[in-house]
């Protein structure tokens, strides 16, 4: 292979090359040449793309509702029912039993989807992987490894229910015996 090197292209005519004077482009005319358009466009596009970095100058704050909220009077809730009214805003189910109430987190303990309460079957059923929970929050089917979490719940001075989402109680740690995990009425 190495012996047969490609022949160099035929050399240009031997006559001395004439040096042409460089074409001078006045600065104010540069913008109106095609090359000028191209560079201007390129610079503008790059700047526009980089301008999105300005977004990083501002803090990334998620405005979430206050984790402590007033859930109204205990009489607003039907005994034996799972109440869905705070699900959308606070991600909480309030369950009213004859003895009292508790607040369940709507986050599935498997991978964090939101299960749906199925009234006719009396269970929470997760649409993602089929985990099922009783109204008490105890997991009984599917892959969820532990029960739903409960939030702190107590009665305020004015008789309203106060749910505190910043404190949670996990059954597998034996925390459902703690006073604020269940509101006796």
Which residues here bind other proteins, judged by CB under 8 A? 87-88, 91, 106, 110-111, 113-116, 118, 120-121, 125-130, 132, 140-143, 145-146, 172-173
Query: By the 8 A CB rule, do 172 and 99 touch?
Result: no
Residue closer to other proteins, measured from CB, 113 or 155: 113
CB of 113 to other proteins, least distance (A): 4
Nearer to other proteins, 91 or 185 (CB): 91
If the CB atoms of residues 6 and 27 are measured against other proteins, the closer one turns out to be: 6
- Indicate the residue among 85 and 155 with the shorter CB distance to other proteins: 85
Query: Which of 99, 141 has the CB closer to other proteins?
Result: 141
Q: How far is the CB of 174 from other proteins (least distance, A)?
A: 10
């Amino acid at each position: 292979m190495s012996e047969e090197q490609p022949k160099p292209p035929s050399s240009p005519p031997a006559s001395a090359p004439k040096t042409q004077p460089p074409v001078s482009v006045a600065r104010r005319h540069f913008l109106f040449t095609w090359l000028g358009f191209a560079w201007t466009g390129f610079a503008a596009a790059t700047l526009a793309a980089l301008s999105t970095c300005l977004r990083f100058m501002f803090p990334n704050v998620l405005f979430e509702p206050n984790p402590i909220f007033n859930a109204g009077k205990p009489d607003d809730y039907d005994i034996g029912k799972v109440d869905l009214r705070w699900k959308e805003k606070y991600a909480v189910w309030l369950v009213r039993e004859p003895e009292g109430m508790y607040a369940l987190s709507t986050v599935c303990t498997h991978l964090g989807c939101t299960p749906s309460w199925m009234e006719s079957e009396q269970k929470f059923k997760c649409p993602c992987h089929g985990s099922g929970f009783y109204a008490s929050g105890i997991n009984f089917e599917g892959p969820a490894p532990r029960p739903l979490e409960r939030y702190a719940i107590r009665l305020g001075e004015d008789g309203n229910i106060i749910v505190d989402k910043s404190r949670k109680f996990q059954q597998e740690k034996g925390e459902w015996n703690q006073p604020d995990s269940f509101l006796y009425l």
